[in-house]
């Protein structure tokens, strides 16, 4: 679609990052939003106009009659392909650079083998969403892939990527190859990798339930127990790319070996997949996420109690996180529908009980607004906050 800007430097990238939502802005607005000096913004705009990336819009009258020209991208960035592939679930989506989800398809649990996940089902889902959205690979501005484990964002080569333990590596590998490489060959565009829970966190913190809140801790439930920490609209990944991952808090000295390499991690016994297993065992039949949603709608006491108990266990851990982070909001993944609300009730109760009252009162517990669409919106938020549109 649109040509790369060909303009290097952090100021042009920052300006392009702001204009990526398609809305025109004045130089003054761009200076305020980027924190750059107005003269730096004007210089960057001049270079971008010369490169054909940015064009002046209509000059309107403002304030005391001084004309204020707006600036906008000459062509909006193309849509993004988004693939999320965790062991317990996967999806593919197409989303515009403005944040409209054009198509999304659930591709079910992934098959995990010795050399990694088998990508065929999620790649088939990707073909389907592209067809449904009427988007050809050549029209994409980029692809974003969400995988479990340490964030590999910014790693441009296998050598630069974090080297997780053998167990975790399987989840970030598709039939022996890095997912970004597989997708890059298939789509012919740049592919950026991020932790799946981080994408959902960004989606809800930037576009969704916690929009505009400076410190947001998001807990993902659908594909395990993951979490992401968003500070002022940007991910906090930490040194090893696992910051905020409450699923790997230590819970049981005698617990099983986790794929992170530690023993007895919280998510192994406290997660939606673990809860489904426990319900299936108790009821002697398989239990799916839709079964749980139905159980909540029917006020099934077994299901409601199990969800409240899970929410309470989660809230007990989150109460500690609240002391460390003092967040404005804790967002509980909304992809479980009515079940998410029951989990959030348990979380709220535990936070009230275990966190210091002043902090507990300040941290609002919200339910995610977008469900699985949060991953797709998170990819757009990632592209904006990391200035990826300008790097195409």
Query: Where does this chain bind Zn ion (CB under 5 A)?
Result: 248, 258, 260, 262, 265
Cα separation, 307 vs 367, whole angstroms: 14
Residue closer to Zn ion (CB basis): 40 or 173: 173
Rounded to a whole number of angstroms, the minimum distance from the CB of residue 243 to Zn ion is 14
Which of 202, 260 has the CB closer to Zn ion?
260
User: In this complex, which beta carbon is closest to Zn ion, that of residue 262 or of residue 274?
Assistant: 262
What backbone torsions phi and psi does residue 122 show, to the nearest 5 degrees? -75, -30
Q: Output the smallest distance, CB 390 to Zn ion, in A.
A: 36
Q: 265 or 380: whose CB is closer to Zn ion?
A: 265
What's the CA gap between 364 and 237, in Å, rounded? Answer: 22
**Residue among 211 and 250 whose Cβ is closer to Zn ion:** 250
Residue 323 C-beta: closest distance to Zn ion, Å: 22
| CA nearest to 377, candidates 208, 252, 230 | 208
Q: Which is nearer to Zn ion, 34 or 270 (CB)?
A: 270
d(CA 148, CA 121): 17
Considering the complex, what minimum distance in angstroms separates the CB of residue 167 from Zn ion? 9
371, 335 contact by CB (below 8 A): yes
Which DSSP state fits 202? H
DSSP bridge partners of 25: 71
**What minimum distance in Å lies between the beta carbon of 268 and Zn ion?**
7
| CA atoms within 13 A of residue 41's CA, in its CB half-sphere | 22
**CB 179 to Zn ion: min, Å:** 21
Residue 174 CA: distances (Å) to CA of 121, 160, 239: 12, 18, 25
What is the layout of strands, in order, in the sheet containing 54-62?
25-26, 66-73, 54-62
């Amino acid at each position: 679609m649109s040509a790369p800007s060909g303009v290097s430097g952090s100021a042009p990238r920052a300006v392009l990052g702001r204009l990526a939502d398609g809305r025109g802005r004045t130089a003054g607005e761009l200076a305020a939003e980027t924190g750059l000096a107005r003269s730096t913004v004007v210089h960057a705009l001049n270079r971008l106009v010369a490169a054909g990336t940015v064009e002046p819009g209509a000059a309107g009258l403002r304030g005391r009659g001084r004309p204020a020209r707006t600036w906008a991208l000459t062509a909006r960035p193309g849509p993004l392909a988004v693939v999320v592939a965790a062991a317990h679930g996967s999806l593919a989506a197409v989303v515009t650079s403005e944040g409209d989800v054009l198509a999304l398809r659930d591709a079910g649990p992934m098959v995990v083998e010795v050399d990694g996940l088998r990508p065929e089902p999620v790649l088939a889902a990707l073909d389907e969403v592209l067809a449904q959205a009427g988007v050809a690979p050549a029209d994409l501005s980029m692809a974003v892939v969400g995988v479990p484990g340490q964030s590999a964002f910014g790693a441009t080569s296998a050598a630069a990527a974090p080297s997780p333990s053998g167990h975790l590596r399987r989840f970030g590998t598709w039939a022996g190859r890095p997912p970004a490489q597989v997708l890059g060959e298939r789509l012919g565009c740049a592919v950026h990798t991020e932790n799946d829970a981080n994408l959902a966190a960004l989606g809800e913190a930037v576009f969704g339930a916690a929009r505009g809140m400076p410190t947001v801790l998001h807990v993902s439930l659908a594909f395990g127990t993951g979490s992401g920490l968003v500070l002022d609209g940007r991910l906090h990944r930490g040194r090893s790319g696992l910051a905020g991952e409450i699923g790997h808090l230590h819970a049981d000295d005698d617990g099983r070996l986790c794929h992170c390499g530690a023993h007895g991690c919280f998510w192994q016994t406290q997660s939606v997949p673990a809860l489904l297993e426990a319900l299936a065992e108790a009821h002697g039949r398989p239990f799916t996420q839709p079964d749980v949603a139905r159980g909540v709608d029917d006020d099934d006491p077994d299901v409601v109690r199990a969800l409240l108990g899970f929410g309470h266990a989660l809230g007990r851990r989150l109460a500690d996180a609240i002391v460390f982070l003092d967040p404005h909001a804790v967002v509980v993944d909304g992809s479980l529908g009515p079940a998410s609300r029951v989990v959030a009730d348990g979380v709220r109760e535990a936070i009230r009980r275990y966190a210091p009252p002043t902090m507990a009162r300040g941290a609002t517990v919200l339910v995610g607004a977008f469900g699985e669409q949060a991953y797709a919106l998170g990819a757009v938020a990632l592209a904006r906050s990391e200035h990826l549109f300008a790097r195409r």
